[in-house]
């Protein structure tokens, strides 16, 4: 596609965009009475307009039925989650039984590591990307300590080459190979939160398995953003949050994937609770834990129905929008257009004032562009915010900007790039 740096081009593109109508299903925050340019779906997705109504329905069910709400009403709480699984399984490329919805993300990282990080004296190391999201670093650090190992010894971080910012797949695979004898687990994020790099998860899972290790993925920045195929790529486990690209509310419920090949493995440890008990016998309240077959066997606690409700409000929009394939097609164009406009600023100025560190190849990124500001980074970020362009800031000089296909427009990225250009002279 040939892009043009004009308002007319951006508008014409929005008019042709068949997903444009879905913007109306979200509540866009205001700036001086006008829609803000919200480019922060990587951190917190916008509220579906329907969310209040979905919540109200469950409050009504609680009011009308009280405890009976678990079993009666239009959608009894006991099976409420089942309505979400097909859409979620589509988004994650999983079989229905491989997906469960529970807890929050870091809690799920821990619970899944209980099952899939089973170090022995010889095979105890975890390989992950350098600069992983801090919560994942802390989770891994505390897990290796819990098993009696030292972080410095047990955690291998794959770093970019000198002078580079993102990782090369060949380097990741080589390090897995080089440490094959000692690796217990390879744990990567799907998309790195800082650079926006989308890793080759299929190749990583394959290399991990060849090394004799498990492969687990944190898809916080990938779920609902880029298509993944957890089942076909043979991931052992994965987890994600729902409040970023899946718009399910601050601190919204998380999800987890366990590959079906592990369903009957009775050697896997797990931290159990009654919500993971086999469903046909859960209410017999008998001693002796017997897990439900499938990912739901990893559940621990009573389903938080109000969080599930918010999740459903958003997933129903994904469903109406025709799923991730359509969204991804628009997303690639939106992001490429944004990249074109930002690079256009550099050309105009004759200097890389805004250097995009996210890979240029569409297959290696999702919605997010991470932009390094050469000068006055923090002041530029503040200028954007003062002018209604909402991105987010990462030390020391990176602004993350994500155009989300469900609610962002070509006009949004056009206006954002205009603002980035004006910031250069407005900020000293
Ligand atoms: C956003 C994010 C988290 C946050 O975890 P919570 O438990 O929901 O606070 C964890 N890991 C990654 C990779 C993230 O991007």
Q: DSSP secondary structure string, 96-119? A: GGGEEE-S-HHHHHHHHHHHH---
Q: What is the CATH number of domain 7-35+323-426?
A: 3.90.1150.10
- Across the range 111-118, mean pLDDT stands at 98
Q: What is the pLDDT of residue 417?
A: 98
Angstrom distances, CA of residue 411 to CA of 4, 10, 333, 367: 12, 5, 13, 16
The string of pLDDT tens digits covering residues 368-400 is 999 999 999 999 999 999 999 999 999 999 999
The string of pLDDT tens digits covering residues 257-293 is 999 999 999 999 999 999 999 999 988 889 999 999 9
216 CA distance to ligand 1 middle (Å) = 15
Q: Could you tell me the strand order of the sheet in which 99-101 lies?
A: 99-101, 254-258, 237-241, 214-218, 183-189, 125-129, 155-158
pLDDT for 428 beyond 90 = no
Given a contact cutoff of 8 angstroms between Cβ atoms, the answer to whether 31 and 386 are in contact is no
Domain limits of the chain? Answer: 7-35+323-426, 55-320
Atom of ligand 1 at shortest range from CA of 107: 7
Q: In 3-state terms, what secondary structure has residue 191?
A: strand
CA distance 200 to 93: 15
133 CA distance to ligand 1 middle (Å) = 7
Task: Give the dihedral of Cα atoms 391, 393, 394, 396; nearest 10 deg.
Answer: 130
What are the φ and ψ backbone dihedral angles of 21, each rounded to 5 degrees?
Answer: -60, -25
In a mutational test of the pocket of ligand 1, which residue from 41, 44, 103, 105 has the highest number of ligand atoms less than 8 Å from its CB? 105
The answer, as to whether pTM is greater than 0.85, is yes
Longest dimension (CA), the chain: 72
Ligand 1 shell residues, CB under 6 Å:
104-106, 133, 135-136, 189, 193, 218, 220-221, 241
Query: What percent of the chain has pLDDT above 70?
Result: 100
241 CA distance to ligand 1 middle (Å) = 7
Q: What is the CATH number of domain 55-320?
A: 3.40.640.10
Whole-number average pLDDT of the chain: 97
The string of pLDDT tens digits covering residues 210-224 is 999 999 999 999 999
Q: What is the pLDDT of residue 362?
A: 96
pLDDT for 74 beyond 90 = no
Q: What is the pLDDT of residue 1?
A: 77
- Across the range 415-423, mean pLDDT stands at 98
Q: What is the pLDDT of residue 150?
A: 97
Q: What is the pLDDT of residue 73?
A: 86
Q: Whose CA is nearest to atom 13 of ligand 1?
A: 133
């Amino acid at each position: 596609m040939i892009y043009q740096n004009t308002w007319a081009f951006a508008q014409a593109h929005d008019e042709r965009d068949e997903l444009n109508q879905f913007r109306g299903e979200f509540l866009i925050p205001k700036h001086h009475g006008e829609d803000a340019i919200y480019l922060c779906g990587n951190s917190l997705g916008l509220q579906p307009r329907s969310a209040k109504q979905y919540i109200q329905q469950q409050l009504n069910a609680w009011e009308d039925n009280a405890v009976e709400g678990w079993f009666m009403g239009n959608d009894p709480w006991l099976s409420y989650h089942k309505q979400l699984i097909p859409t979620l399984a589509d988004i994650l490329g999983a079989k229905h039984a491989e997906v469960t919805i529970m807890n929050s993300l870091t809690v799920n990282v821990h619970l899944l590591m209980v099952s899939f990080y089973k170090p022995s004296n010889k095979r105890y190391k975890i390989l992950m990307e350098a600069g992983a999201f801090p919560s994942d670093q802390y989770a891994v650090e505390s897990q290796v300590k819990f098993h009696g190992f030292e972080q410095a010894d047990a955690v291998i971080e794959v770093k970019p080459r000198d002078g580079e910012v993102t990782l090369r797949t060949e380097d990741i695979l080589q390090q897995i190979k080089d440490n094959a004898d000692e690796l217990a687990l390879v744990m990567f994020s799907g998309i790195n939160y800082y650079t926006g790099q989308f890793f080759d998860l299929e190749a990583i899972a394959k290399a991990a398995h060849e090394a004799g290790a498990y492969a687990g993925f944190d898809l916080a920045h990938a779920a609902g953003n880029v298509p993944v195929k957890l089942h076909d790529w043979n991931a052992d486990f994965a987890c994600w949050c729902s409040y970023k690209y899946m718009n399910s509310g601050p601190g919204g419920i998380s999800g987890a994937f366990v590959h079906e090949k592990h369903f009957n493995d009775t050697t896997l440890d797990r931290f159990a609770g009654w919500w993971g008990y086999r469903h046909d016998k859960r209410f017999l309240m008998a001693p002796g834990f017997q897990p439900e077959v499938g990912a739901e066997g990893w559940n621990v606690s009573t389903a938080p129905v109000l969080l599930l409700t918010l999740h459903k409000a958003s997933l129903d929009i994904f469903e109406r929008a025709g799923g991730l394939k359509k969204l991804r097609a628009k997303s690639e164009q939106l992001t490429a257009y944004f990249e074109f406009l930002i690079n256009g600023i550099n050309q105009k100025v004759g200097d890389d004032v805004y250097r995009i560190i996210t890979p240029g190849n569409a297959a290696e990124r999702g919605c997010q562009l991470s932009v390094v500001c050469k000068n006055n980074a923090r002041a530029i970020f503040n200028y954007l915010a003062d002018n209604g362009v909402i991105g987010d800031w990462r030390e020391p000089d990176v602004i993350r900007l994500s155009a989300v296909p469900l609610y962002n427009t070509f006009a949004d990225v056009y206006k954002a790039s205009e603002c980035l250009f004006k910031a250069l002279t407005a900020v000293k």
